[in-house]
Amino acid sequence: MRYKSQAVAYWYFAVAMVLFGLQLVFGLLSATKYLGPDPLLYVLPFDVTKVIHTNLLIVWVLTGFMGATYWLVPDESRTELHSVKLAYIQLILWTLMGVTAVVGYLFRYGTGNKLLEQPLPHKIVIVICMLIFLYNIGMTIKKSGRFTTTEGVLVLGLVSTAVLFFPALLEYKNYTVSIFYRWWTIHLWVEGVWMMIMGSFLAYLLIRLSGADREVMEKWLYVIVGLVFLAGIVGTAHHYYWVGVPYYWLPIGGFFSALEPLAIIGMAMYAYGAMRRSGLSHPNNLALHWTLGSAIFTLFGAGLLGLAHTWPSVNKWTHGTLVTAMHGHAAFYGAYAMIVLAMIAYALPSLTHSRKDHNPAIGYWAFWLQLGGMFGMTISFATAGIGQVYLERIMGMGYLDAQLKIQVHFIMLIASASMFSLGAGLFIFDFFRRRPRFEVTETDALGNDVNDPVIVTERRL
Ligand code: HEM
Ligand code: HEM
Ligand SMILES: [Fe+2]
């Protein structure tokens, strides 16, 4: 750790880890309900567990983004954070918001707008937290006078995330209008501005882990951001096929969203190329795994599986089925969960007493069990979804009858989700078993701790 205030990141990561664990509990609960009978039907029905599952996901990923930003900005701008106190106030407010929202959902207190279910008071707290966060980051950069491209793209992504939350504050009586604007937040987050956030974390990690040339990395970052903008913004129309808006959205949505994987292919090639050139020699091999893993899993989950159902003639059959859940899991995990885990894996050795074991076996188990588990879950949702589309939409079978025929896929889902949860559990355990250590250490040009015994030994070899 180069700057004392980077310690703030540890507490953001700690909160993210707890919420990640809770998210999985509610995911498993949701999945078992598909197999029935459900003893919790009147206490915790499916709609409640699913809302909690997806909301916890969004909150922990955003907590991870904030923690990672508080880690990255001092490093890039070469200065202490503007205000550590504000960062902690923000974390407390944010955590209280997240926890009370979840408790509220248990009592069905929410807007019912998918993924944006937070009640208005909670949404206002979200806005306040975002403003505190952006102010703190903005002032840090302003004071330092050093502003890198990586940071610029990150800040642009974070500011746009806040701005795009505004449509979510409004409520519309007309369902079509409400759905129309919901995607301005949800789609433009995950397929637009969050890609910028992910791209900049990726650039930061690649520069430090592979020693790749900053200028080359940052030029690529511009290309990716350009492509995201070109395709992602108009690509919003791939959610406008069947919601009651005019027909012309179909070709527009199909064409532009089909271009979106180009940016994702670019990103994976860029990560792979940087790693190949470096020969994977950085001592923090686990962080390398998570970084490259994130770029490649995004290509699979968002690029390939997004393309699989984005064309109107396919989406006509698959819309709102388990095929959507297949893509939602793989894409969200690859792009946003894994990049947060990569930032944690990179920062953790500097934030904790773990000097002698940068790459403990438990870390690799956590990585491979999660990867294998998530792959299995994706295949389970895919096979269930294809069966569902065929039986329900093509053969005209009733929803519940079709569900009975695809039970085996839910057994597969629970088996692979258990493997995933074991991996996630190990990651969380590995995080908390290390005692925090917040001391400033001398670093080399790449930001690596020069007194770190692992790095010193590697150099001697
Ligand atoms: C990291 C990037 C991405 C993430 C995290 C992501 C995540 C999601 C999620 C969570 C949903 C379900 C949303 C809901 O129903 O409320 C969804 C839907 C969808 N995504 Fe993505 N996505 C990503 C990229 C892409 C890309 C690149 C494409 C196309 C090439 C794509 C195509 C679609 C389509 C067509 C739907 C609508 C499915 C339906 O009609 O039910 N996604 N995505
Ligand atoms: C123990 C592991 C998990 C299990 C058992 C699980 C299970 C489920 C189930 C059953 C649903 C409801 C699907 C439906 O509407 O029919 C769901 C929704 C969802 N989960 Fe998970 N999940 C797990 C982990 C995750 C992870 C790690 C992520 C992302 C990083 C994630 C992201 C999502 C998303 C985005 C949705 C909404 C998808 C949609 O509406 O189409 N889940 N999950
Ligand atoms: Fe989308």
Instruction: Read off the pLDDT of residues 382-404 as tens digits, 9 standing for 90 and up.
Output: 999 999 999 999 999 999 999 99
Neighbours of 265 (CB within 10 A): 16
The response to whether residue 187 sits with its C-beta less than 6 Å from ligand 1 reads no
Q: 241: part of which helix (H) or strand (E)? A: none
Confidence of residue 460 (pLDDT cuts 50, 70, 90): very low
**Res 377 pLDDT > 60:** yes
Q: Considering only CA atoms, which residue is closest to atom 11 of ligand 1? A: 328
Better-predicted residue by pLDDT, 217 or 134: 134
The response to whether residue 115 sits with its C-beta less than 6 Å from ligand 1 reads yes
Assess contact for 210 and 277: CB atoms under 8 A. yes
Nearest atom (ligand 1) to Cα of 310: 35
pLDDT score for 453: 47
pLDDT score for 267: 87
Q: What is the mean pLDDT of residues 268-290?
A: 85
pLDDT score for 448: 61
Query: 303 CA to middle of ligand 1, Å?
Result: 10
**Res 18 pLDDT > 90:** yes
Contacts of 357 (CB under 8 A, 6+ apart): none
Q: What is the mean pLDDT of residues 24-37?
A: 95
pLDDT score for 226: 86
Confidence of residue 217 (pLDDT cuts 50, 70, 90): confident
Evaluate the omega torsion of the peptide bond into residue 37 and state whether it is cis, within 30 degrees of 0: yes
Q: 407: part of which helix (H) or strand (E)? A: helix 407-433
Reduced 3-state DSSP string for 312-342: HHHHHHHCCCHHHHHHHHHHHHHHHHHHHHH
Confidence of residue 186 (pLDDT cuts 50, 70, 90): very high
Q: Considering only CA atoms, which residue is closest to atom 39 of ligand 1? A: 319
pLDDT score for 13: 98
pLDDT score for 221: 86
First to last CA, the chain: 24
Closest ligand to residue 318's CA: 1
**Res 245 pLDDT > 60:** yes
Q: Which CATH number fits domain 4-460: 3.30.70.890, 1.10.510.10, 1.20.210.10, 1.10.3720.10?
A: 1.20.210.10
Q: What is the mean pLDDT of residues 261-269?
A: 90
Structure-token pair, residue 12: 């953001």
Closest ligand to residue 373's CA: 2
**Res 457 pLDDT > 60:** no
Confidence of residue 225 (pLDDT cuts 50, 70, 90): confident
Q: What is the mean pLDDT of residues 280-292?
A: 88
pLDDT score for 317: 98
pLDDT score for 222: 87
Give 460: exposed, middle or buried? Use CB within 10 Å, 0-12, 13-18, 19+. exposed
Q: How confident is the model over 407-430, as pLDDT tens digits?
A: 999 999 999 999 999 999 999 999
- How far is Cα 114 from Cα 197, in angstroms, rounded to an integer? 23
Concatenated DSSP letters of 221-240 = HHHHHHHIIIIIHHHGGGG-
Average pLDDT, the chain: 92
The response to whether residue 143 sits with its C-beta less than 6 Å from ligand 1 reads no
pTM of the model: 0.96
pLDDT score for 415: 98
Q: Which of 363, 343, 347, 357 is nearest to 447 (CA)?
A: 347
pLDDT score for 304: 97
Q: Considering only CA atoms, which residue is closest to atom 33 of ligand 2? A: 329
pLDDT score for 40: 94
